[in-house]
Amino acid sequence: MRKSEQRSRAFAKRLRNNLTNAETILWSRLRRGGLNGQKFRRQHPIGPYIVDFACIQARLVVEVDGATHSTPDEVAYDRRRTRFLRKHGWFVYRATNPDIYENLNGVLEGIAAHLPPPPLRGPPPP
């Protein structure tokens, strides 16, 4: 493991222990296959970046944008990061804190639209 990956993993671990309120709410619905049976990871390192949530199987990144995503420098950083992730085969879905607080079901529907359908339950049709 490269030194930069070791630093990213250590930083990601610290971030997992300090989720924002909006991230905590969203994580409560994504964890343990809570959305279409898909597994998500929180504060997951991808290359030089740490993403808020990642569904490895679907190559989906979910970013929660709070107040720290509003200055021109922060917006430019987010654009660079999104370009990197897309270049490496990831789809990036963004939700804002107010989206999560006021329209959590809409956010979950938006995320689910980028996931494979849930597995069928019960016996196969005759």
Residue range 27-46: mean pLDDT, rounded: 92
* Look-up of token digits 């430019």: 76
| 43 — pLDDT class (breaks 50, 70, 90) | very high
* Domain at 31, CATH number: 3.40.960.10
Any domain includes 122: no
Q: State both tokens at 78.
A: 């987010």
Predicted confidence (pLDDT) per residue in 53-110, tens digit:
999 999 999 999 887 767 888 889 999 999 999 999 999 999 999 999 999 999 999 9
Any domain includes 124: no
| 28 — pLDDT class (breaks 50, 70, 90) | very high
Query: In the predicted model, what is the mean pLDDT of the chain?
Result: 85
> Which residue range is the domain that position 22 belongs to?
3-112
Residues of the chain with pLDDT > 90, as a percent, come to: 61
Residue 23: Cβ-neighbour burial (10 angstroms; 0-12, 13-18, 19+): buried
Beta strand pairing status for 41-46 and 60-65?
unpaired
